[in-house]
Structure 1
Amino acid sequence: MIIDRINQAKAKEQELTQNGSLKDFASGHHWFGLHKTSTGWVIRDWAPNATQIFMIGDFNDWQERDDYRLQAIGDGHWELSLPEDKLVHGQLYAFSMHWNGGNGKRIPAWCKRVVQDEETKLFNAQVWIQEKDFEWKHPNYMRAEEAPLIYESHVGMAGEEERVHTYNEFREQILPRIKAAGYNTVQLMAIPEHPYYGSFGYHVSSFFAPSSRFGTPEELKQLIDEAHGMGLAVIIDLVHSHAVKNEVEGLGNYDGTRYQFFHSGAKGEHPAWDSYCFNYGKNEVLHFLLSNIRYWLEDFKFDGFRFDGVTSMLYFDHGLGKAFTKYDDYYDGGVDQEAVSYFYLASKLIHEVDPNALSIAEEVSGMPGLATPIEGGGYGFDYRMAMGVPDFWIKLIKEIPDDNWDMGQIFHELTSKRLDEKVVSYAESHDQALVGDKTIIFRLMDKEMYFSMRKDQPNLLVDRGMALHKMIRLATVTCAGGAYLNFMGNEFGHPEWIDFPREGNNWSYKHAKRIWSLAENKELRYHLLSDFDQQMMQWIRQVGLLETPEVVWRYDNNGDKVLSYQRGEFLMVFNFNPTQSYTDYGIPVEPSKFKILFNTDEGRFGGQERIDKRMTYYTRPSAGLTSQHYLHLYLPARTAIVLKREAFKRVR
């Protein structure tokens, strides 16, 4: 079955490339769409069911005119050439598309600039040709070969004001924060144009147009360029799993047919997302999507992708209501081979265009081979999202009292992955912050966040929340299977939830922002969580912790609520007990000596400063020198300690 899937994917590659390269095949954006030429303008499109297409815009009063009529040139392709004086930068345009039995206005599928009228809320394509190419200051940037520490971000809600924020504001105000926080990768959400802001960018309408609500394409390029100058890689949320149903500003019924880009009938409609599902069996659709990948990598110099909705693409039933508890679930005939072939092609193309690019699959089923190299018979993603980890933490916090937490289960859940794949581990992402759900900090503190986050207002519930927030993140990142992710603001315990403007909240932006000033106010406790997260990230990068693949269990005691494990030369010890501190607690390790690097109980991180960091800790044998050695530590309640093993000369 596995070999057959890969062979089918290779056959599709051969069919598409005819012994050429995937990069050459994925060049549709250089042909389709609007282009300035040496003699004027040319616009092309693929609309096999169309009978007539007119280019309409403010240059011809939005009227169909023969001199703006596209000509059919075969294979469902249409073309119009115009003299240079017929179009001007900034003008608005669209297609008037005709088919047997109907017609309608359409935003060209391959257009690279779409704008929305603030008054009418209507979308149009926009002529966007700069006099000279964007001048990259860091054209040769290469992503560092280190474990990705990802800062998941949304440009529009990245500021404090109740409005949509911009690429420039993100570049000027947020990039320095990310750099200072110790992360090395920025993940940008909601970049391809989407008509409904509240969709978080997951109902895409124009796949080649960076959202104009945040600024211009050049301003997005400047953001990426400046990030590269800071040593930050930038990846984009890529939504090739489905598309918005909208017809004027989307691909729905584009040429009068549902089946041009999507499956017809029920197979083409996502039952949970109210969207259309792409037909990955059509070569023209593969051409569109693969060209989209190359476009973002080359034109904007993104450093990779987080592929959204991979589970939905893989299975005919979209993985809905399926537990995936046995391997039969992956090989029972419910897998869409056309989607498998697409992933194979996409993964190969990404690394053909940029060998250092990242490809991350948002996938919940645990499909075997998904994050295994193509050469090993896998689908070629570099990482998959460890989506079970945040679900585990939420279930633990929500349903199980602290004194019943299972230490062995925590270690198992945080380290559970196949040996041949790497994963992006995270305690919470934007998913856990959306309205209707709760962030970890809000689950831990609830309403006390509103009243007791001042340093001069002691509160036991806040103390508990602060302690567990740090411990949960430290455990997650130190057990991470290759990479780590955090949603912006969660590192300092951003209060409340995310709620984009919608009819149900009177189109309010109140919860579609980030209140950075909370973390800047030294009278509040938020900065203490931020300071701890910064310590964690900088340490992990400095020592290359996540490049050490093996996480070695050392000890757990469910009664005491103590857990310990080792990664390379670093030992992590957790006391999750809510009330009991331990003196001279023995952790079984090899003969050695250790120094404490940092711990969650330090005063600078909002702790009670109960641990002496100046001491050097030597292991002691339980009997003779050859017996089991123990590292004896003071373990305050709800505290985690990071120790480093130092050179040790064993006495014989």
Structure 2
Amino acid sequence: SLDSNDLGVWEIFLPNNADGSPPIPHGSRVKVRMDTPSGIKDSIPAWIKYSVQTPGDIPYNGIYYDPPEEEKYVFKHPQPKRPKSLRIYETHVGMSSPEPKINTYANFRDEVLPRIKRLGYNAVQIMAIQEHSYYGSFGYHVTNFFAPSSRFGSPEDLKSLIDRAHELGLVVLMDVVHSHASNNTLDGLNGFDGTDTHYFHGGSRGHHWMWDSRVFNYGNKEVIRFLLSNARWWLEEYKFDGFRFDGATSMMYTHHGLQVTFTGSYHEYFGFATDVDAVVYLMLMNDLIHGFYPEAVTIGEDVSGMPTFALPVQVGGVGFDYRLHMAVADKWIELLKGNDEAWEMGNIVHTLTNRRWLEKCVTYAESHDQALVGDKTIAFWLMDKDMYDFMALNGPSTPNIDRGIALHKMIRLITMGLGGEGYLNFMGNEFGHPEWIDFPRGPQVLPSGKFIPGNNNSYDKCRRRFDLGDAEFLRYHGMQQFDQAMQHLEEKYGFMTSDHQYVSRKHEEDKVIVFEKGDLVFVFNFHWSSSYFDYRVGCLKPGKYKVMWGGWAGGESW
């Protein structure tokens, strides 16, 4: 029988067998059985380290994971130091193959990591690591928080992947989900003990109406212990170098940041809608991570602009090292929906530089959000269906293709140059990956009664066609080369984190933006039809300047 400790946690200690073998054999399926007022309840242990879906079963099964010493992966390479400028390659293991299938940790280690290194990125962010029974959730409906997804391989395979990344000098960040949990009752935390409130708020507050998921009660001591332990587990057991924390806005406000507009007024951040328990949890989490692992990186996803979000806890901040600069991607999509003539240079500069004082940002022109079905990537907004027929170098082009490739490069470079101290790109977008991401799915009927057709559970659009970026006879290859050169330029000059930044021109008639970052001068001509020769540009330092790279529509260009 189990005993209850002083905190009300039920526990039991099982000694090894007489021959030294574990009382529960490695690989055994395990559950917790509880006799509750509503009847017998079987649940996967909340702290389970591995879970799998066996053939013919719908819910996952918890697995007692304790391999013999000779089967455990031993890390061989030290973790890299935190880079001054973060250049993040956002990835998803399952869809990282050019083939229509679920990829593996091992293949990602051998095929994708060297690509990331070659492209010039210094950090890899991996999505969908925590086990999630629904593949199409992109990893955001977590069922087993301490278990790496078994779809892609074993825990030892994941450790090998991370060790190889460290060997290549890449920092490995995990996209961690502490903002909500899966609704599943058979293989998740929901209804763990037969009640609605074991880990979550009761009533409507405990249900996220848009995400169809459960909301944690961050005022519960055991919930805090569970989540803090979870963060430390991934850093200690798997040697992750930090986290991108999903959905921080949803955590910090009882309205989850939905159907509200943040204007910057302080009452919006420090009022009755603020979930103080959640904010305190984020402070505790950052304090714990940086206390145990000073080199670890934490990045928070916040759309509200919460003040002090990326300031240290010691000075009253929430404690993140970086915040995601999410307004930038929205601004580019807004502009691409309109006419080139309507682009305002001052508005572009304002969006890129509108950041809270001393709070570092990771910026991006687009992430996985824009690549999902129902949305469009920047390349698709620019070139649309012409991408299917006019990307061969030895074939004809179109005005859409010429304009699209030029703007794709300019948008990414000015975003990196002016948008923050870190930069993020979702895999494949560096070369303008065509089409969208559509996870395999069958038809479904929403609670509202709306019918959503499926895609015959196809993996065709749930993969990354890296072969397109590598094909030298396609225009995609030039776009990939440009992105690679952009990363190496930042590596050489470190302009993202330079203290010197000065915007010297925002010319609305010429559609020209000029700014200095570090020792570099950036000049962008966004005019839809005019090129300029002998264009005078002011510089802080007198002397001769060397053109590092660039081009124009009528001559050689990247």
Shorter-chain TM-score: which interval? over 0.9
Q: Which amino acid aligns with 1:315?
A: Y
- Please state whether the residue corresponding to 2:14 is helix, strand or coil: strand
- Please state whether the residue corresponding to 2:548 is helix, strand or coil: strand
**What is the alpha-carbon root mean square deviation over aligned residues?**
1.5
Q: Which amino acid aligns with 2:112?
A: I
Q: Which amino acid aligns with 2:555?
A: E
- Deviation of residue 609 (structure 1)? 3.1
From 69, 74, 77, give the equivalent of 1:135.
Answer: 74
After superposition, where does 1:373-392 map in structure 2 within 5 Å?
373-392=312-331
- Deviation of residue 600 (structure 1)? 4.6
Q: Kindly indicate whether residue 427 of structure 2 is the aligned counterpart of residue 488 of structure 1.
A: yes
Structure 2 counterpart of 1:594: 545
- Please state whether the residue corresponding to 2:547 is helix, strand or coil: strand
Between the aligned partners of 2:200 and 2:82, the Cα distance in structure 1 is 38
- Deviation of residue 107 (structure 1)? 0.9
- Which whole-Å deviations, capped at 9, do the CAs of 1:240-291 have from their partners, x for residues lacking one? 0000011121000101111110011111111111111101101111100000
Q: Which amino acid aligns with 2:40?
A: N
Structure 1 counterpart of 2:142: 204
From 2, 8, 26, give the equivalent of 1:89.
Answer: 26
| 292 and 104 in structure 1: CA distance in 2 versus 1, 3 angstrom threshold | same
Higher strand share: 1
- Which whole-Å deviations, capped at 9, do the CAs of 1:556-586 have from their partners, x for residues lacking one? 2111111101111110001111111112111
- Which whole-Å deviations, capped at 9, do the CAs of 1:72-123 have from their partners, x for residues lacking one? 5562313252633653222222223321122232111001010011322331
Structure 2 counterpart of 1:354: 293
Q: Which amino acid aligns with 2:416?
A: V
- Deviation of residue 134 (structure 1)? 2.4
| 432 and 85 in structure 1: CA distance in 2 versus 1, 3 angstrom threshold | closer
Between the aligned partners of 1:78 and 1:117, the Cα distance in structure 2 is 28
After superposition, where does 1:291-310 map in structure 2 within 5 Å?
291-310=229-248
- Please state whether the residue corresponding to 1:596 is helix, strand or coil: coil
Structure 2 counterpart of 1:440: 378
In 1, are the aligned partners of 2:80 and 2:170 still within 8 Å (CA)?
no
> Any unmatched runs of 5+ in structure 2?
443-453
- Which whole-Å deviations, capped at 9, do the CAs of 1:150-174 have from their partners, x for residues lacking one? 0000000000111111000100000
Q: Kindly indicate whether residue 456 of structure 2 is the aligned counterpart of residue 514 of structure 1.
A: no
- Please state whether the residue corresponding to 1:583 is helix, strand or coil: coil
Structure 1 counterpart of 2:510: 560
Q: Which amino acid aligns with 2:65?
A: W
Structure 2 counterpart of 1:183: 121
Between the aligned partners of 2:5 and 2:359, the Cα distance in structure 1 is 46
After superposition, where does 1:337-486 map in structure 2 within 5 Å?
337-398=276-337, 400-455=338-393, 456-486=395-425
From 479, 495, 498, give the equivalent of 1:545.
Answer: 495
Between the aligned partners of 2:74 and 2:520, the Cα distance in structure 1 is 44
- Deviation of residue 70 (structure 1)? 4.4
- Please state whether the residue corresponding to 1:467 is helix, strand or coil: helix
- Matched residue count: 537
- Please state whether the residue corresponding to 1:470 is helix, strand or coil: helix
Structure 2 counterpart of 1:42: none
Between the aligned partners of 2:195 and 2:140, the Cα distance in structure 1 is 23
Between the aligned partners of 1:600 and 1:150, the Cα distance in structure 2 is 26
Between the aligned partners of 1:271 and 1:122, the Cα distance in structure 2 is 23
Structure 2 counterpart of 1:615: none
Between the aligned partners of 2:436 and 2:551, the Cα distance in structure 1 is 25
| 207 and 481 in structure 1: CA distance in 2 versus 1, 3 angstrom threshold | same
- Please state whether the residue corresponding to 1:582 is helix, strand or coil: coil
Q: Kindly indicate whether residue 83 of structure 2 is the aligned counterpart of residue 150 of structure 1.
A: no
| 610 and 229 in structure 1: CA distance in 2 versus 1, 3 angstrom threshold | closer
> Any unmatched runs of 5+ in structure 1?
1-68, 602-606, 612-638, 640-652
In 2, are the aligned partners of 1:152 and 1:486 still within 8 Å (CA)?
yes
After superposition, where does 1:492-507 map in structure 2 within 5 Å?
492-503=431-442, 504-507=454-457
Q: Kindly indicate whether residue 51 of structure 2 is the aligned counterpart of residue 114 of structure 1.
A: yes
In 2, are the aligned partners of 1:493 and 1:526 still within 8 Å (CA)?
yes
After superposition, where does 1:206-225 map in structure 2 within 5 Å?
206-225=144-163
Structure exhibiting the larger radius of gyration computed from Cα positions: 1
Between the aligned partners of 2:539 and 2:496, the Cα distance in structure 1 is 21
Q: Kindly indicate whether residue 251 of structure 2 is the aligned counterpart of residue 313 of structure 1.
A: yes
In 1, are the aligned partners of 2:79 and 2:241 still within 8 Å (CA)?
no
- Deviation of residue 550 (structure 1)? 4.0
- Please state whether the residue corresponding to 1:506 is helix, strand or coil: coil
- Which whole-Å deviations, capped at 9, do the CAs of 1:371-414 have from their partners, x for residues lacking one? 0112221111000000100000000001x211221111111111
| 70 and 564 in structure 1: CA distance in 2 versus 1, 3 angstrom threshold | same
Between the aligned partners of 1:245 and 1:303, the Cα distance in structure 2 is 29
User: More deviation in 541-550 or 518-527?
Assistant: 541-550
Identity, % of aligned pairs? Answer: 48
| 550 and 332 in structure 1: CA distance in 2 versus 1, 3 angstrom threshold | farther
Q: Which amino acid aligns with 1:148?
A: L
- Deviation of residue 302 (structure 1)? 0.3
Q: Kindly indicate whether residue 38 of structure 2 is the aligned counterpart of residue 101 of structure 1.
A: yes
In 2, are the aligned partners of 1:360 and 1:382 still within 8 Å (CA)?
yes
- Please state whether the residue corresponding to 1:588 is helix, strand or coil: coil
Between the aligned partners of 2:289 and 2:113, the Cα distance in structure 1 is 25
Structure 1 counterpart of 2:555: 609
- Please state whether the residue corresponding to 2:533 is helix, strand or coil: strand
User: More deviation in 581-590 or 386-395?
Assistant: 581-590
Q: Displaced runs of 4+ in structure 1, greater than 6 A?
A: none
Q: Which amino acid aligns with 2:422?
A: A
After superposition, where does 1:517-536 map in structure 2 within 5 Å?
517-536=467-486
Q: Which amino acid aligns with 2:549?
A: F
Between the aligned partners of 2:349 and 2:149, the Cα distance in structure 1 is 41
Between the aligned partners of 1:77 and 1:592, the Cα distance in structure 2 is 73
Between the aligned partners of 2:176 and 2:499, the Cα distance in structure 1 is 28
